[in-house]
Chain A
Amino acid sequence: MPQTFPQNKGSVLDIVNLTMNFGGLRAIDAVNLHVKQWEIVALIGPNGAGKTTIFNCITGLYKPTAGDIFIQPPGRKRKRVTGMKIHKITKRGMARTFQNIRIFSNMTALENVMIGRHCRTKAGVWEAVLKNKRTRKEEKDIVSQSYNILAKVGLTQAVNELAKNLPYGAQRRLEIARAMATEPFLLLLDEPAAGMNPYETKELDELILRIREEERISILMIEHDMKLVMSVSDRIYVMDYGEKIAEGSPSEIRENHVVIKAYLGEEFDA
């Protein structure tokens, strides 16, 4: 278990009493959650527990009914991001992937990553039309940085392929590459191993650890593959019916009776 990594830095993400109602349905009920710097945190729970809803609130797709989301990128001030515009939240350094892959399928792998890079560069419409020296250099940098990111996730061979023509595992990695291109301090992965075979899952395991190691960022992931969860996470949150029912280290969670009950149902003597 990668517990040797420098720990105990401050939180980069703080979720306080987050509540989300859809009409009469309470999808998340006063959930508290935090992610520290360089930490890999897993969010698990049965289907419909509200995990993806939390992601949607963090990234601004949903406006939470109540509660607050604070971020504190390393070396920056603490900031409340609740209800901020989606693209502004991305600019502040949070990037995500989706359960069902959402790459730009009619663009090449390289273009997908370049789109992600654009939010970290300046050139506006006029610069793009006029193409002065600085803009040309910036464009060049974007291309070379994008190549590097693709190399990191092992997609060097596929740069000019249309995204929709890539094999499934590669599309997943491309989605992670595009998220990385926005230079996040926190990467949110929504079921990154969904639909992967054991070999691909193992590769993903290594990729997640390598991203943390090389990019020095935090990762919050939703995942159902317990082997992956137990092997990479520092801490685990467990949710059921919109509520947080447990949190702790992988070994603590494995022993937790409430968690076992949520997953397997009530134990009773026959």
Chain B
Amino acid sequence: MDYFLEIFWGGLTRGSIYALIALGYTMVYGILELINFAHGEIYMIGAFTALIVSTALAMAGMKGLTVFILASVLAVIYASAYGFTVEKIAYKPLRQAPRLSPLISAIGMSIFLQNYVLLAQTSDFLPFPGLIPEFTFMQPYAHIIGSTEMVIISTTALIMLLLTVFIKFTRMGKAMRATAQDRNMAMLVGIDINKVISSTFILGSALAAVGGVLIASHIGRINFYIGFIAGIKAFTAAVLGGIGSIPGAVLGGLVLGWTESFATGYVSSDYEDVFAFAFLVLILIFRPSGLVGRKTIQKV
């Protein structure tokens, strides 16, 4: 039973991270119908920023949770700025272009950012400090779930809750939903959709950065390539849940996390991806618009 629970929580941890990144894909898709392939790189940049900031702060003699929080905040700000800029440079000029053009532009941006970090940093794996301390109250459960995993799961849950409130009740949230449903009509009721689109990119990038910091301190090492892998997985999660749908992204992330985790735990870690993608294929055969996707998806 303990083994099962350990795998269960492990899967939930993984799934939470996938969900955090998948939200960025799904929100951008909801508004622009664009797969933002550079999104994984934003997550990687978030992790790198946190590494640099936390190293600097550690040299300045700070430790513990303060470092973690400061590093996270700066990572979020920096990554959001990247997300905002990528949209302005690579997607906004192509808004009237055929749908394939911004897609190619996104792939180009992804390759550019990877290589930019590769050149500015290094191609080697860098050790990432375990920023989240071991809580003493977690000791009795340490064989099932670690403190880091607990922090990841609860942070993600909190963020999902805040995001739901934001989308549902704030005026920017309403403007986002309106833009996703009918962009021209949104403009006709006076919504500045450039602002809405920028906000979507900023929000999505912030979520990805949080994911980047959390998973980096869990796994303990990063390099320039982590964004690509995580991006593909999170994209899979978004499609699995029904791209364009926010609850779908969360559900898709969790399902993908558990599938991988149980495949690793009960079969072999070599088959983790095989199971994950086989599951995706099955879902797409039987529910082409994803788990929660209906004919008309509730976008953003």
Contact = CB atoms under 8 A, between A and B. Distances in A.
Interface of A: 59-61, 85-87, 90-91, 95-96, 98, 102, 104-107, 111, 114-116, 118-121, 123, 125, 128-129, 139, 178-179, 181-182
Contacts of A85: 187
B181 A104 contact: yes
26 contacts: A85-B187, A86-B188, A90-B188, A95-B189, A98-B185, A104-B177, A104-B178, A104-B185, A105-B181, A105-B296, A106-B181, A107-B174, A107-B177, A107-B181, A114-B171, A115-B178, A115-B186, A116-B190, A118-B191, A120-B190, A121-B171, A123-B171, A129-B170, A139-B171, A181-B189, A182-B189
A40 B296 CA distance: 37
Contacts of A105: 181, 296
Contacts of B190: 87, 90-91, 116, 118-120, 182
A60 B192 CA distance: 13
B178 A107 contact: yes
Contacts of B189: 90, 95, 115-116, 118-119, 178-179, 181-182
B115 interface: no
B298 interface: yes
Contacts, number: 75
Contacts of B296: 105-106
B124 interface: no
Contact of B185 (A102, A111, A119, A128): A102
Interface of B: 170-172, 174-175, 177-178, 181-182, 184-193, 199, 296, 298
Contacts of B177: 104, 106-107
Contacts of B199: 125
A104 B181 CA distance: 6
A114 B170 CA distance: 11
A128 B193 CA distance: 17
Given A105-B181, A125-B199, A111 B174 contact: yes
Contacts of A91: 190
A85 B186 CA distance: 12
Contact of A104 (B171, B182, B184, B193): B182
A90 B189 CA distance: 6
Contacts of A125: 172, 199
A111 B177 CA distance: 10
Instruction: Report whether over half of chain B's contact residues are helix, strand or loop; otherwise say mixed.
Output: helix
Contact of A86 (B170, B181, B187, B298): B187
Contacts of B171: 114, 118, 121, 123, 128, 139
Contacts of B192: 87
Nearest to B190: A119
B188 A59 contact: yes
A61 B183 CA distance: 11
B205 to A, nearest CB: 15
Contact of B187 (A87, A98, A116, A178): A87
- Which among B170, B171, B189, B193 has the greatest number of chain A C-beta atoms within 10 A? B189
A86 B189 CA distance: 9
A90 B191 CA distance: 9
The 7 closest A-B pairs by CB, nearest first: A119-B190, A86-B187, A90-B190, A87-B187, A128-B170, A116-B189, A102-B185
